[in-house]
């Protein structure tokens, strides 16, 4: 049987409040009744003392005044028990027919007279030579009315408090229940693949901490699923890229060999178009090498090389494209003398940034390669006059498989960043008048540069 948390909180709390309020109300009622009874007996004692100490005769006027002051009825009896006078609105003959049972002197007992119940007290008084007895009667209905009037306020207060505490308990329980139900719904949505976070409560309590934990778990699961999808996609792409890259490299090798054989057989022609074709084949081979680096099973052996030569090679490979598209390409890469551990990866990174710049710039634009040599590092900036990259795109463009091109694979910038980091450097995007990508690569000292140059 399902027992909601709201009821688990509400029922015990309300029961405790009911018992507590009932006990307090009962004590208040008992105290009020005792107070009324004490006041009644005090009033009867006052009337008794007045009658016993009075030396004047109890005339009808005096009896009426005593009745008005004490609200008690008085019956005056002689020594023989005959009624002398009374404040009751009945004839003496009719009252005389009532049989009064003997009662102890100055004790309070219940008597029924003319169909009504009274608290009665018999008092004996002496006035000169006369000796009278006075029966003091206090209406029991008046006593009950006084008791009811006394106990009604604590009962009403108890009922109001019980109602308010019940409403408050219901509100508190419902509030906690709603927050827990909201967390339950969020967990159910997470199970269905919806990782939308739940807004945090302004009240900093345990449920807020639980909400923060669930939101963190939701975000972590979302990232894990995205990484899993990227991993699956990467696995499929590496399989496809590896096979296609090997086939393309074999085809390009055959094409390059054919062109080189033609140059040897016909050296007198020296056709410039053949040189351009060979450079384009070399450019395509460099791009295929970059693809092979991410394919499964490809060798991870690296070759060191001169950084200046790598930049010069990359610039020379894209020079025909710049001439064809009428794009101005300038570079000061020849002044760099520094050795890098992974030349192929870095050459592919430079080519990717340059080709992206050519595509973004378009005809009549310009691409510039600028280098700065510092004591312990070298900065290489590749900028173009193309439109700036939107901030939303710039935040994700270095992630694998992120692309804004319909035909793009989203690997170029990710591989360029990986190449820079593999060589101990970094790659960053700089927004400004020109779209700029900056490589920062280590170069510790001039002596080390010379040693590295000899090893390269």
- Cβ contact 41:102 at 8 Å: no
Closest CA to 134 of 87, 185, 166: 87
Tens place of pLDDT per residue across the chain (456 aa) = 667 766 777 788 778 878 888 888 888 888 888 888 888 778 777 777 877 777 777 778 888 888 888 778 887 877 777 777 788 877 666 676 665 555 555 556 677 777 778 777 777 777 656 667 787 888 877 778 887 888 888 888 888 888 888 888 788 878 877 878 888 888 888 888 887 887 887 777 777 788 888 888 888 888 888 888 877 776 776 677 667 766 777 777 777 777 777 777 776 655 666 766 776 777 677 667 666 665 544 445 567 778 888 888 888 888 888 888 889 989 887 567 788 888 888 888 888 899 888 888 888 899 999 988 888 889 999 999 988 888 888 888 888 777 777 666 677 788 889 889 988 899 999 888 899 999 999 975 444 544 544 555
In what order do the strands lie in the sheet containing 130-139? 83-86, 73-77, 130-139, 116-127, 108-113
Q: Evaluate whether 263 touches 274 at the Cβ level (below 8 Å).
A: yes
Cα torsion for 172, 174, 178, 184, to the nearest 10°?
100
CATH superfamily of 5-162: PAS domain (3.30.450.20)
Enumerate residues 6+ apart whose C-beta is below 8 A from 368.
329, 330, 331, 381, 382, 383, 384, 434
Angle in degrees, CA 71, 73, 79, rounded to 5? 145
- 384-393 burial code (b ≥16 CB/10 A, e <16): bbbeebeeee
Q: Are strands 73-77 and 83-86 parallel, antiparallel or unpaired?
A: antiparallel
Domains 5-162 and 303-455 share a fold: no
What is the Cα–Cα distance from 58 to 338, expressed in whole angstroms?
A: 135
Domain 303-455 part of CATH 1.25.60.10: no
Q: Where do the structural domains in the chain lie, given as residue ranges?
A: 5-162, 196-300, 303-455
**Residue 119: half-sphere exposure toward Cβ, Cα within 13 Å:** 18
Alpha-carbon span 369 to 334, nearest angstrom = 11
pTM of the model: 0.46
What count of other Cβ atoms lies within 10 Å of the Cβ of residue 229?
Answer: 11
Q: Using only C-alpha atoms, what is the Rg of the chain? A: 54
């Amino acid at each position: 049987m399902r027992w909601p948390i709201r009821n688990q909180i509400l029922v015990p709390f309300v029961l405790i409040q009911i018992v507590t309020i009932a006990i307090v109300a009962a004590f208040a009622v008992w105290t009020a009744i005792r107070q009324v009874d004490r006041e009644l007996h005090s009033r009867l004692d006052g009337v008794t003392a007045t009658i016993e100490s009075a030396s004047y005769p109890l005339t009808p006027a005096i009896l009426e005044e005593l009745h008005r002051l004490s609200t008690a009825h008085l019956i005056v009896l002689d020594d023989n028990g005959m009624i002398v006078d009374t404040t009751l609105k009945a004839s003496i003959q009719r009252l005389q027919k009532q049989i009064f049972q003997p009662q102890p002197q100055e004790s309070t007992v219940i008597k029924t007279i003319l169909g009504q119940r009274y608290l009665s007290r018999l008092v004996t008084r002496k006035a000169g030579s006369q000796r009278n007895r006075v029966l003091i009667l206090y209406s029991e209905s008046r006593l009950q009315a006084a008791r009811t009037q006394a106990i009604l306020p604590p009962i009403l207060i108890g009922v109001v408090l019980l109602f308010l505490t019940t409403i408050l308990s219901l509100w508190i329980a419902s509030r906690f229940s709603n927050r827990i139900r909201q967390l339950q719904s969020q967990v159910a949505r997470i199970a269905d693949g919806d990782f939308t976070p739940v807004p945090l409560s302004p009240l900093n309590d345990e449920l807020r901490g639980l909400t923060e934990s669930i939101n963190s778990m939701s975000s972590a699961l979302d990232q894990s699923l995205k990484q899993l999808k990227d991993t699956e996609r990467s696995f499929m792409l590496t399989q496809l890229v590896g096979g296609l890259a090997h086939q393309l490299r074999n085809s390009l090798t055959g094409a390059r060999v054919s062109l080189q054989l033609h140059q040897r057989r016909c050296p007198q022609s020296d056709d410039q178009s053949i040189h351009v074709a060979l450079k384009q084949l070399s450019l395509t081979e460099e791009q295929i090498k970059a693809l092979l680096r991410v394919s499964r099973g490809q060798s991870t052996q690296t070759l060191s090389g001169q950084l200046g030569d790598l930049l010069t090679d990359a610039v020379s490979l894209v020079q025909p494209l710049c001439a064809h598209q009428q794009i101005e390409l300038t570079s000061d890469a020849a002044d760099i003398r520094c050795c890098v551990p992974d030349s192929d990866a870095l050459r592919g990174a430079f080519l990717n940034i340059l080709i992206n710049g050519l595509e973004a710039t378009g005809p009549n634009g310009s691409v510039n390669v600028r280098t700065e040599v510092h004591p312990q590092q070298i900065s290489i900036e590749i900028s173009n006059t193309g439109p700036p990259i939107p901030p939303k795109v710039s935040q994700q463009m270095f992630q694998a498989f992120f692309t804004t091109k319909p035909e793009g694979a989203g690997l170029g910038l990710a591989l360029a960043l990986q190449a820079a980091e593999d060589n101990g450097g970094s790659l960053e995007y700089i927004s400004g008048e020109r779209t700029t990508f900056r490589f920062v690569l280590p170069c510790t000292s001039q002596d080390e540069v010379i040693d590295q140059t000899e090893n390269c």
